[in-house]
Amino acid sequence: MRPLGANLGRCLITGGAGYLGRELAKDLAARGLPVRVFDVRAPDAPIDGVEVVVGDIRDYDAVRAACEGIDTVFHTAARIVPLRIASDDQRREVETVNVGGTEHVLRAAREAGTERVVYTSSVNVVVDRSYAGADESVPYASEEGIDLYTQTKAEAERLVLAADGEELATCALRPGGIYGPGEGQHFPRIVKNALRGQVVALIDGGRALADNVYIDDLVSAHRMAAEALCDPDAANRGRAYFINDGQPQNYFYFFKPTMDQLGVPFPTRSVPSAVVDPITRIGELLHSVGGPRPALTTMELDKLRHDHFFSIEGAARDFGWRPEVPPEEGHRRCQEWVAYLATEERRMMASEDVERPAVGWQVAVLGGLGLLFALAFVPEAYAFWRRNVGPMLPRRVLQGIAAAAIAAHVGEATYAYKLAKREGMASAGRWAWQTLLFGYPSLRLLKRRVAERAGDTA
């Protein structure tokens, strides 16, 4: 491995226990650089030659101490909450981490005499409309109607770029979807959904294209951007850059190699995004009042129905970066990771002995109940609906319907428990809880399981 061509000095990585942070720390340390990682928790496994500092980025004193003696900061720490409808507590937490944490990093870097900061932004900061091959001249996403993650990342990026000056050199990188071995967000989700039969249809025929980037390429982009900042007249100072593999794909098709490896049929049916849109909004509304996290957020849906891919020529021009890992090679390198995740998921499914309803049923039932209870018991939600959607039954009627729904779910859950117990199922309690949550779709699966068992013993 070649040594660094520019002297980055002592490096600090915020969010160093996260996926990108860990891989960046390994790369820099392997090149002989002194590296310190800062996060609210230590990395899952020690990294040779890397100092670990545990602290909260919302604590300025902790950030200032972590920046002491540091020459280069890679600021990767963030909270990813892609919700448009969010509770006040969620908004406060995300804003204090993503925006307040960035303010702490910039202030601490200046006070500690740090020379440069490379910020891990996101392609999301401009994704409020369709883009096909656009460059960095496109405007930030409008704050009206965008999700919490997009809003706070855009605000933080503005702070970083504005901070570039005589005392501190800064730039920002905007990666697309990050993937690779050990990635703990996208791969576990697609493996779980695929094995449980929940990837059943494309959105709008799978036409929308989006960007992705393999982890090694993203790490090299961070390193090369920081190296360029060592030049006082660097072209990348105070600028942001899109980072991706240059081969945009629809997200469903991007993960087709994973589904093929799992032996799961790729969906051939398609669902209009207009049908899915209200379900995502209901799911977010339910989540904002304490319900489960929605299976799909409105921001994620937007990425499945609109093109949003971007040119990487800016990074090539200003600091010489180009991707080296095409998607087919990236997926080949991920096969062992997918196999491991599949083994763990199958073990989990076997231990549960409870079959989940399809994701469409889950979203429909929880979304419908969430909307019903919000309209029935939250005056603000009822007023919002009357003002922006249209006429609605009186709240007392809705409250009666809600009470009947509760009674129906309780009755179905009780019946499910007794039926599973009668069949000698160790999972009777789990079937009861699931049926309490999802109602008839869960009870139907239990009845099918009982019928199958009866057929096996006949």
Q: Is the dihedral of CA 174, 179, 182, 183 positive or negative?
A: positive
- Quote the DSSP letter at residue 132: E
- Within a 13 Å sphere around the CA of 197, how many CA atoms are in the beta-carbon half? 7
Burial 206-225 (b: 16+ CB within 10 A, else e): bebbbbbbbbbbbbbbbbbb
Q: Helix 101-112 and helix 148-162: axis angle, to 10°?
A: 20
Distance CA 160, CA 169 (A): 9
Distance CA 117, CA 106 (A): 8
Question: Phi and psi (nearest 5°) for 6?
Answer: -125, 150
Q: Helix 440-457 and helix 428-438: axis angle, to 10°?
A: 140
Distance CA 126, CA 223 (A): 24
What token pair was written down for 255? 């993960």
**Beta bridge partners of residue 53, listed in sequence order:** 38
Q: Which of 277, 279, 274 is nearest to 366 (CA)?
A: 279
Position 330: which residue type? Answer: G
Distance CA 48, CA 70 (A): 19
**Do the Cβ atoms of 84 and 145 come closer than 8 Å?**
yes
Residues with a known catalytic role: 149
Distance CA 310, CA 130 (A): 10
- How crowded is residue 115: how many other Cβ atoms within 10 Å of its Cβ? 19
Position 43: which residue type? Answer: P
**Do the Cβ atoms of 132 and 309 come closer than 8 Å?**
yes
Residues whose CB falls within 8 Å of the CB of residue 355, separated by 6 or more in sequence, listed in order: 445, 449
